[in-house]
Amino acid sequence: MATIQEVAARAGVSKATVSRVLSGNGYVGQEKRERVLQAIAETDYRPNLLARNLATKSSQTIGLVITNTLYSGSYFTELMAHSARMMEQQGRQLILADGKHTAEQERAAIQFLLDLRCDGIIIYPRFLSIDALDAIISQHRQPILVINRRLRVNDSYCIYIDQHATSADAVSQLLARGHREIAFITGSLDSPTGMERLSGYQAALKDAKIALDPQRIVQGKWTAQSGMAAVDSLLARKVAFTAIVASNDEMAIGAIKRLTECGIAVPQQVSVLGFDDIPLAPYITPSLSSIKLPVTEMINETIGRLVTMLDGGEWRPRPPFNGSLILRDSVADGPGRRA
């Protein structure tokens, strides 16, 4: 592999001139620049990126940490795709690091990106606690922003959706349509998002002075299969329900399939509501009512704030984002309203 010294010798310039051409810093005449670029092409020179990053104090890269259990599904596809598009528009490279399955592995993924000298890092955490995230942010010079968690100390470094309030509002709208017996399919119970959506459901029932029936709560695993299994559990428990709220659209679609197979009409007998408003939601039968989350807006805010930090600008914390209910054919009025 060629060295910078060999490139300089071939071009008839100094190593410093080659470095200025590579970094884009400092003036180099057009004729010398062309000689350096030609020498680089002829020698197939590849610069030491880490050394260049140390010298320029910028890598033009942004790191993104997401655990691999979250890669599937339309929500995270949109999140990663939009992040990559925005980084391209900013002239930066997005580097994805896998947070794997534990808090320590998430921490290791963050350190990996720090060691690569990423200019900034975005984390969509699954396992690290709020206190641990606050500590990590406080300990490092590079800006580290957290998506979908509310931090206590570094509130300017978090961008999140109020999952609790969004869930409570959606359940309240079902209550207003005459549903009193509402079942709930949770996400994985080690998921902060899943727990907040469950707590919103519980809060809406409490505000409506409706007693919480634990038999109407079934644990899911974010998959369509677990939505089908949840309906089986509800029917086996012989508990009455006129509506089901599922913690994501995949489970809601599974629930609709099993209800239909069991001869239970949706929405005439049971209404079904999901979360995330995936692209498929309008196209199933019946079309799925869902809570649309502002993923694109959240990523715009995250990357915009990160770039502002890197450029030395000022920023302020903004209120949390909220989802909005998109009503389609899978939700109808409940017995209370029809009466």
- Complete DSSP assignment for 65-80: EE-GGGSSSHHHHHHH
Please report the pLDDT score of residue 24 as a whole number: 60
Please report the pLDDT score of residue 71 as a whole number: 60
Q: What is the DSSP string of 136-186?
A: HHHH-SS-EEEES---SS-GGGEE-B-HHHHHHHHHHHHHHTT--SEEEEE
Please report the pLDDT score of residue 231 as a whole number: 98
Name the stretches of the chain with pLDDT < 70. Answer: 1, 22-26, 46-59, 70-75, 336, 338-339
Q: Provide the total of helices (H) and of strands (E) in the chain, helices listed first.
A: 13, 11
Please report the pLDDT score of residue 58 as a whole number: 57
Please report the pLDDT score of residue 183 as a whole number: 98
Please report the pLDDT score of residue 49 as a whole number: 53
Instruction: Quick: pLDDT tens for 92-124.
Output: 788 888 888 899 999 999 998 888 888 888 898
Please report the pLDDT score of residue 299 as a whole number: 84
Domains observed in the chain:
4-56 (1.10.260.40), 61-160 (3.40.50.2300), 163-293 (3.40.50.2300)
Q: How many Å apart are CA 200 and CA 214, to the nearest integer?
A: 15
Please report the pLDDT score of residue 211 as a whole number: 94
Structure tokens at 125: 């955490």
Please report the pLDDT score of residue 5 as a whole number: 82
Is residue 134 within 8 Å of residue 292, measured between CB atoms?
no
List CB contacts of 332: < 8 A, sequence separation 6 or more: 177, 267, 268, 271
